[in-house]
Amino acid sequence: MSAVLAEMLRKSTQTYNERWIGATKTDYHTTADHGVVAQHNLYWNAIVRAVETADFDELIAFSRDAGRFQSSKGFDLSDAIGRTIEATNMIEIALLETNAGAIPQMEIINEIADLRSMIAMAVAEGYKEDQDTKRDMASERDNKERLRAVMERKAASFEVSVLAAGDEIAPLYDDGMKFHFVDSGTLRLYNLLPNGRCITLSILGPGDVFLQWRTESQSLSCLCAESLHESRIITASEGQITEIISAQPAAALDVITNFARRLTESQVLIEDLLNNSVNLRLYRTLLELAKNFGKPEGALTVIDYPLTHQRLADMIGSNRVTVTRKLHELQERGILEARRNATIALCDTNALAKLAESGA
């Protein structure tokens, strides 16, 4: 049954496409552009493969992506589910028209009903995931603003620094602790390695924090930061951290949350260093930089920050020669292109993300 139904789905592709594009024009008074049609065809092929192989993982992934996309575009969940049902109704109609008696109609209707339920459920899951992410991001923004208010209110008693691009926050050499709050700008948080190289731990933006501390028995004195753009930093000493928490007890949670995030990022990075190749670290770093500094330029994403090969090597704990070779490989594959002034443009962010996921 599945093989026959899959063959019928392939035969009905054109009929379904015409109906779907027609509905798009009617409902939204627009023409489905080539990118949308291509994405739709990928989705359709995933449906055919799912029916053919009885492996629905790819289809469920596509459906979740569709749910996340519709959430990001501001559709209500009921609208997202409604559009999904309309699309599967079109599949059913196309199949019935293509059938010509090869399969009893009720079997087709029952098969599509099961498929419809599976797709609709996955769309709803993806929609909810996107909504949860938005709520988490909103909560994080609120936390950062609350902490910023505390820091600004007591800034007169703290150390305030304005760092130009390239300026650094030096390692901590004296026993004690320093708490740094990024009020504006962008910092590269990194650690000095025993072999003289350094490794980037995180890219920090407004509202982020990090700690430096040193004791006789334990040391993070090699933790440093470089300002990537002009940045304003508010720094509190070990004793002043108590003032922050006393002024706004809720700020304690914000500090702990930020610090926990830094620790998690460090643990992921250590895992990368131990288990993953230079390739993987480079892919992830380029994606992170594109996220923080990427500017759209047509179909490209330009990383609006000068990235010499040596700087990239420093970021991933490698050497310039290796990074140069890896960048050339990515360029030959059409994934990125080098620009003047050490600027990098990503031509295919999705392909780079797939490489980062696969570890290839």
Q: What is the pLDDT of residues 34-89, one digit of tens each?
A: 555 666 667 777 777 887 777 888 888 888 888 888 888 888 888 888 878 877 77
Which residue has tokens 């599967």? 88
How sure is the predictor about 162, in pLDDT bands with cuts at 50, 70 and 90? very high
How sure is the predictor about 233, in pLDDT bands with cuts at 50, 70 and 90? very high
| Mean pLDDT, residues 230-250 taken together | 78
The proportion of the chain whose per-residue pLDDT surpasses 70, expressed as a percent, equals 76
120: CB partners within 8 A, 6+ apart: 81, 84, 85, 88
Q: Could you give the count of Cα atoms lying within 13 Å of 67 in the half-sphere of its Cβ?
A: 25
Distance in angstroms (rounded) separating the CA atoms of residues 27 and 217: 68
14: CB partners within 8 A, 6+ apart: none
What is the enclosing helix (H) or strand (E) of 323? helix 320-332
pTM of the shown model: 0.56
Which residue has tokens 């009929």? 15
| Mean pLDDT, residues 207-222 taken together | 67
Residue 290 corresponds to which amino acid?
Answer: A
318's tokens: 């490698």
| pLDDT value of position 261 | 60
End-to-end CA, the chain: 37
| pLDDT value of position 31 | 46
Domain 155-257's class? mainly beta
3-state secondary structure of 302: strand
Residue 282, Cβ density class (10 Å: 0-12 exposed, 13-18 middle, ≥19 buried): buried
Q: Tell me the pLDDT tens digit for each residue of 179-214.
A: 888 989 988 888 777 666 777 777 888 888 888 877
The domain spans of the chain are 2-136, 155-257, 278-358
Lowest mean pLDDT among 31-35, 105-109, 198-202, 223-227: 31-35
Conformation bin of residue 54: beta by default, left when phi > 0, alpha when psi is -120 to 50? left
3-state secondary structure of 198: strand
| Mean pLDDT, residues 155-163 taken together | 87
| Mean pLDDT, residues 119-128 taken together | 88
2-136 placed in CATH 1.10.490? yes
278-358 placed in CATH 1.10.10.10? yes
| pLDDT value of position 269 | 59
* Better-predicted residue by pLDDT, 327 or 101: 327
Query: Cα 277 vs. chain centroid, distance in angstroms?
Result: 20
